[in-house]
Each structure stands twice: as structure tokens, then as C-alpha cells.
């Protein structure tokens, strides 16, 4: 089975990490943040109003494990405890590996770094030592400016 076929059969299943409050967002005017999951979430089952979920962020959100055949199975958020997703800073896109119950393992970080180098992709992740990023000069400058302003 090719990687493309594998990703085609990937499903969220019982995973609800993107809605559990690990990723900060707003749903229909309600804040979602650590300790405050989406009010539409029924953990282990999913969205109670899935057919009417908002375009932004719900329909537009892409979990990289779900849509990117290059990400191995151990990146499934319900297994790994991390969510890899696209973000932007100063109109520069990057992949962020976000905490979703667990810090990334060394194996995940090694894969992430290798993936970024191979694909010339800007990346950011958090581990026990803090926030880290790697990418082109514009991305690194933008992340440094953000860090100075925090």
C-alpha cells in the first residue's frame, strides 16, 4: 500500500485533540484554550454539531498526521499527545508541533527536524527546554521578534 493510500484511509476516529483546548482558538465566540475545550466537543465522540461546525477554524484546520502521508503513524495525536498543524507569523507559514497532553519524544523531534530539512519547511516545537524553531532567515527573524515582544 502506498503512502497516499494510507493517508486516504486515515480518520480522526475517536481523536479530539484539536478540540480539547490544547490549540487556542475561538468557536462561535467561545474561547478554546488549555483547560477550556470547545463547548461543542463530546470527548471520545467528537463534535455534537459536526455538520454545522464553523468554517474557521474547524473546517479549515488540517492535522498534518491526517493529511500528510509523510507523517508516520506514531504522530497520530491521540497516540502521540502532540498535534502538528500549519500556523503563520508575519505571513510566513510554518509547521508547529503543539503539546496535546505529551511533550514530543526524541523520535518525533528527530523526524520533525529531518522532515523540515528535506522539505525546506519552517518548523516550531515545544519541549521541556522551551520553544524551538528552525527555518529560513525570515522565519527565524520573525520568531525572534515575537520572542522579544513576549
Domains in the chain: boundaries: 3-149
- The pTM (predicted TM-score) of the whole model is 0.89
SS3 assignment, position 41? strand
- Radius of gyration of the CA atoms of the chain, in A: 16
State the pLDDT at residue 14.
85
- For 27-55, the pLDDT digits (tens) are 999 999 999 999 999 877 889 999 999 99
DSSP assignment of 57-105: IIIT--BHHHH-TTS-GGG-HHHHSEEEEEEEETTEEEEEEEESSSPPP
Helices H / strands E in the chain, number of each: 5, 8
* Alpha carbons 122 and 142: distance in angstroms, whole number: 11
pLDDT in tens, 52-70: 999 989 999 999 999 999 9
**pLDDT band of 150, cuts 50, 70, 90:** confident
The reported pLDDT for the residue numbered 136 is: 98
Q: Which DSSP letter does residue 13 get?
A: T
Amino acid at each position: 500500500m502506498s503512502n497516499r493510500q494510507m493517508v486516504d484511509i486515515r480518520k480522526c476516529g475517536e481523536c479530539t485533540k484539536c478540540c480539547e483546548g490544547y490549540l487556542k482558538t475561538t468557536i462561535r465566540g467561545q474561547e478554546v484554550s488549555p483547560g477550556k475545550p470547545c463547548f461543542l466537543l463530546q470527548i471520545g465522540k467528537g463534535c455534537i454539531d459536526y455538520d454545522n461546525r464553523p468554517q474557521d477554524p474547524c473546517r479549515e484546520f488540517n492535522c498534518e498526521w491526517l493529511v500528510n502521508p509523510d507523517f508516520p503513524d506514531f504522530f497520530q495525536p491521540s497516540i502521540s499527545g502532540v498535534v502538528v498543524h500549519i500556523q503563520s507569523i508575519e505571513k510566513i507559514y510554518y509547521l508547529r508541533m503543539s503539546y496535546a497532553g505529551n511533550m514530543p519524544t526524541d523520535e518525533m523531534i528527530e523526524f520533525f527536524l529531518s522532515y523540515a530539512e528535506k522539505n525546506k519547511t519552517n518548523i516550531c516545537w515545544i519541549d521541556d527546554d522551551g520553544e524551538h524553531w528552525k527555518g529560513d532567515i525570515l522565519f527565524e527573524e520573525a520568531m525572534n521578534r515575537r520572542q522579544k515582544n513576549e
